[in-house]
Amino acid sequence: MASTARPKTKIKTTAKSAATPAPAEATEALSARPTAGGTVTQLEFVQLLHKGSVIEVVIAEVAQAVYQLQLVVAWHYGRRTLMTSTRQPRDFRSLDTLRRHLKTLGVGRTLVRLELLP
């Protein structure tokens, strides 16, 4: 069985092709994202829960009868807000729905605190 070797080709690089600037649209899209330190996805939330890294889950009322989940994680300063797949904060319209959601995720013995608007 004879093996055929691929012919070697020399790749030419010039200063013009090596240092192409990033398009302006790409840099604008990156800067428009919310900061990664203040947000958490559903998958990250479940992983943090199962690792035991979540110190506290805060249910914060952000508007009249609109609630958001915020996490206090062991190695991060401040709270991290649960986000949807479209990178918007996940809003719950009912505390009952939020309770069922937390039970489904397996919060267990994690401290859960409720903060209501005045």
3-state secondary structure the chain: CCCCCCCCCCCCCCHHHHCCCCCHHHHHHHHHCCCHHHEECHHHHHHHHHHCCEEEEEEEEEECCEEEEEEEECCCCCEEEEECCCCCECCECCHHHHHHHHHHHCCCCCEEEEECCC
What pLDDT shows up at residue 36? 47
CATH class of residue range 36-115: alpha beta
For the segment 41-93, what is each residue's pLDDT rounded down to a tens digit?
A: 999 999 999 998 999 999 999 999 999 999 999 888 889 999 999 999 999 99
What pLDDT shows up at residue 57? 94
Q: Is the dihedral of CA 14, 15, 18, 22 positive or negative?
A: negative
For the segment 28-43, what is each residue's pLDDT rounded down to a tens digit?
A: 333 333 344 589 999 9
The 10 Å Cβ neighbour count of residue 44 is: 15
What pLDDT shows up at residue 23? 47
pLDDT higher than threshold 70 for residue 21: no
Look up tokens 């559903």; give the residue.
Answer: 42
Task: Give the C-alpha separation, 87 to 38, whole Å.
Answer: 12
Query: Is the pLDDT higher at 51 or at 20?
Result: 51
Distance of CA 86 to the CA centre of its chain: 10
